């Protein structure tokens, strides 16, 4: 079968022939239909410092995917041939304290599909049955392919109640855009999203945010009068990993405000901790998805009319992966999807 592989250390990936995987007793074999390109894939492609110390080659990339089940292992009981499945890309140990308590998203021994083990940028992939989310309702294949990052957005957006609240989101990448859509759908009064990319801010306007702010030319506090706000934002969602974004967010939170942090900074961030204390802010780190409560919420949100179509801006056949990766890396886009059907 064909697969996108990091063949050796150094920049670049190759579309090559590799053996078709064989499912174990508790696994399902999927014919991959669509995949989403993630920032992690771009790091592996460019072979940056993180990739060099994390990735063992050769490796099939990809952890955002949807596929059709074509075979199941002897011990599989709940997933059947013909099911449409999105994959939870975090493989957990199942035996640590958090796993045994049902908090699998907090497993300290998590490994990642397409990072530590073979991924889904391939014609076929194998997944443990416990990591398979079967779609029981009609879903667009492109949307089903990005359930992984959609889950990050839902996990972040619903970490704190947003009904009737004023929400600030820093970073209008695909996950920030999806979080904005979720917050609006969940009843936030105002959703303000910030970035320095004009195309991504325009996507945010298509999603229906209250205000998309270019912070290279305006300050967050400038929006108060326009939105009839007086005390700052109730809920913050930091998606960018930029030090200035977190500092600006803290400065513009109301007393008792709550911040969910998803963006990973490339370096340490200095913040005014006295403001955190004096405002009695709550700051919570968010990682991945709650397995599988977040997945349930994603499916329900889509059934209730949440529209993610503006977030998916580019689609390529998997043989056009070079152009697809360049588009995703350019940052003037939303989500980029690869089609693996013939």
pLDDT in tens, 151-170: 999 999 999 999 999 999 99
Residues 6+ apart with CB under 8 A from 266: 241
**Whether 185 is catalytic:** no
State pLDDT tens for residues 219-274.
Answer: 999 999 999 999 999 999 999 999 999 999 999 999 999 999 999 998 899 999 99
CA nearest neighbour of 179 among 166, 165, 189, 193: 193
The pLDDT assigned to 266 comes to 84
Q: Is 15 annotated as a binding residue?
A: no
- CATH H superfamily, domain 2-146+308-339: Medium-chain alcohol dehydrogenases, catalytic domain (3.90.180.10)
Sign, CA torsion 254/258/261/266: positive
Q: Name the catalytic one among 40, 110, 194, 294.
A: 40
* Radius of gyration from C-alpha coordinates of the chain: 20
**Whether 314 is catalytic:** no
Q: Is 264 annotated as a binding residue?
A: yes
End-to-end CA distance of the chain: 12
Q: Is 202 annotated as a binding residue?
A: no
pTM, two decimals, is 0.96
Q: What are phi and psi of 123, to 5 degrees?
A: -70, -30
The domains of the chain are located at 2-146+308-339, 153-285
Q: Is 234 annotated as a binding residue?
A: no
Q: Name the catalytic one among 43, 116, 185, 314.
A: 43
The pLDDT assigned to 75 comes to 98
Give, in order, the Cα–Cα distances in Å from 310 to each of 180, 207, 303, 327, 340.
Answer: 12, 7, 17, 16, 21
CA nearest neighbour of 160 among 276, 284, 41: 284
State pLDDT tens for residues 173-197.
Answer: 999 999 999 999 999 999 999 999 9
pLDDT band at 331 (very low <50, low <70, confident <90, very high): confident
Rounded CA separation 61/82 (Å): 24
State pLDDT tens for residues 3-49.
Answer: 999 999 999 999 999 999 999 999 999 999 999 999 999 999 999 99
CATH number of the domain at 153-285, please?
3.40.50.720
Q: Which residues pair with 133 in a beta bridge?
A: 86
State pLDDT tens for residues 63-121.
Answer: 999 999 999 999 999 999 999 999 999 999 999 999 999 999 999 999 999 999 999 99
- Residue 342, token pair as written in the block: 């013939």
């Amino acid at each position: 079968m064909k697969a996108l592989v990091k063949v050796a250390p150094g920049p670049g990936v190759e579309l090559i022939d590799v053996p078709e995987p064989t499912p174990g007793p508790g696994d399902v074999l999927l014919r991959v239909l669509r995949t989403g390109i993630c920032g992690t894939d771009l790091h592996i492609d460019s072979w940056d410092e993180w990739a060099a110390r994390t990735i063992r080659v050769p490796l099939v990339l990809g952890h955002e995917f949807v596929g059709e089940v074509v075979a199941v292992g002897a011990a599989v009981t709940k997933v059947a041939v013909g099911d449409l499945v999105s994959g939870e890309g975090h493989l957990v140990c199942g035996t640590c304290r958090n796993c045994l308590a049902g908090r699998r998203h907090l497993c300290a021994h998590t490994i990642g599909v397409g990072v530590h083990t073979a991924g889904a940028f391939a014609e076929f992939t194998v997944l443990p049955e416990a990591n398979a989310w079967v779609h029981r309702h009609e879903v667009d294949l492109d949307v089903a392919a990005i359930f992984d990052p959609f889950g990050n957005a839902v996990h972040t957006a619903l970490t704190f109640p947003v009904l009737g609240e004023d929400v600030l989101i820093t970073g209008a990448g695909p996950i920030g855009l999806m979080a904005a859509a979720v917050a609006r759908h969940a009843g936030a009064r105002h959703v303000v999203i910030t970035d320095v990319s004009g195309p991504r801010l325009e996507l945010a306007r298509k999603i229906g945010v209250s205000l998309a702010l270019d912070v290279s030319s305006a300050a967050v506090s400038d929006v108060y009068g326009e939105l009839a706000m007086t005390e700052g934002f109730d809920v913050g969602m930091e998606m960018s990993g930029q030090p200035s974004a977190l500092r600006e967010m803290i400065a513009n939170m109301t007393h008792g405000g709550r911040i969910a942090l998803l963006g990973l900074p490339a370096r340490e961030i200095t913040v005014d901790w006295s403001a955190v204390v004096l405002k009695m802010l709550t700051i919570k780190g968010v990682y991945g998805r709650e397995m599988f409560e977040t997945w349930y919420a994603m499916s329900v949100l889509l059934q209730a009319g949440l529209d993610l179509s503006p977030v998916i801006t580019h689609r390529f056949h998997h043989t056009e992966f070079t152009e697809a990766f360049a588009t995703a890396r350019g940052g003037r886009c939303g989500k980029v999807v690869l089609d693996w059907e013939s």
